[in-house]
């Protein structure tokens, strides 16, 4: 089945540090990748939709200057948390959808990475 | 946007028991997936089931799209089934899944 690889799995760093998280689709191409954030005991909330070769679309309330998203190829998207602070500590999960024949593939399952647990001290 | 409600929010079972988890959604859907999030946070894709019934071992799922609900059945539960079960849907022109609030399942030995 389709595999999404996310790295690193865990990051602990000091306040003010910028942290980059990578998301790769290993055996399929995805024009669209998604970034979710999950706080303890809560559901996944979409942060942004990442489109290959174009600017990401951010959900309301998500600071685009704080969470920089780059989707340079059909298999790689990165999320950079800039100048991270303790309130940015969370579980970040990326996701990608298979594309066939150039369509978005909305009727195809969405595949998820294993997540990155970010702790800012 | 579409609303996704899951019930019950919490469920505690004795090992070997059966259970049914429910997902209600407020609009027609193109895609519905059930996930199990394990204690390490990994999301395991259980079913892709926009309609109909599927079975995989002790798990099965049914989606009745016309009535806007889906059910996840877990039979002969094991302690390794513990975790959070999420239902997520894709509706209309939306490009991404919308998640329900989840059901926290605890299976006691």
Distances (CA, A) of A19 to A72, A78, B18, B69, B77: 18, 10, 43, 40, 40
Q: Tens digits of per-residue pLDDT, B22-61?
A: 999 999 988 999 999 998 899 999 999 999 999 999 999 9
Would you give the DSSP letter of residue B102? -
Q: 3-state class of B81 per DSSP?
A: helix
pLDDT at B92 over 80: no
Rounded Cα distance, A27 and B61, in Å:
27
pLDDT of residue B96: 81
CATH code of B23's domain? 2.60.40.10
Whether A97 contacts A28, CB under 8 Å? no
Provide the pLDDT confidence category of residue A104 given band limits of 50, 70 and 90: very low
Taking contacts as CB-CB distances below 8 angstroms, the residues of chain B near A111 are 45
The pair phi, psi for residue B32, each rounded to 5°, is -145, 130
The answer to whether A49 contacts B97, with C-beta atoms less than 8 Å apart, is no
Q: Residues with Cβ < 8 Å from A102, sequence gap 6 or more?
A: none
pLDDT for position B37: 96
Task: Using an 8 Å CB-CB cutoff, list chain A residues near B95.
Answer: 32, 49, 104, 106
Map residue B80 onto helix, strand or coil: helix
The mean pLDDT of chain A is: 89
Question: What distances in angstroms separate CA A12 from CA A51, A88, A104, one per listed residue?
Answer: 28, 12, 35
Q: How many domains does chain B have?
A: 1
What residues make up the domain containing B25? Answer: 4-108
């Amino acid at each position: 089945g389709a595999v999404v690889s996310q790295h690193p799995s865990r990051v602990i760093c000091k306040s003010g540090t910028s942290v980059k998280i990578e998301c790769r689709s290993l055996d399929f191409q995805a024009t669209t990748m998604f970034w979710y954030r999950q706080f303890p005991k809560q559901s996944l909330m979409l942060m942004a939709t990442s489109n290959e070769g174009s600017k990401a679309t951010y959900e309301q309330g998500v600071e685009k200057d704080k969470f920089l998203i780059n989707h340079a190829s059909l298999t790689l998207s990165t999320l950079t948390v800039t100048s991270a602070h303790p309130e940015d500590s969370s579980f970040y999960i990326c996701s990608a959808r298979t594309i066939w024949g150039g369509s978005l593939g909305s009727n195809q399952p969405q595949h998820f990475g294993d997540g990155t647990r970010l702790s800012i001290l | 946007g579409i609303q996704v409600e899951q019930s019950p929010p919490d469920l505690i079972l004795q090992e070997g028991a059966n259970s049914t988890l429910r997902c209600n959604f407020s609009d027609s859907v193109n895609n519905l997936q059930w996930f199990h999030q394990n204690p390490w946070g990994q999301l395991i894709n259980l079913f892709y089931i926009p309609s109909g019934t599927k079975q995989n071992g002790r798990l099965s799922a049914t989606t009745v799209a016309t009535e806007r609900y889906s059910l996840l059945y877990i039979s002969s539960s094991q302690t390794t089934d513990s975790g959070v079960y999420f239902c997520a849907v894709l509706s209309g022109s939306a490009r991404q899944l919308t998640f329900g609030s989840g059901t926290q399942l605890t299976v006691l030995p």
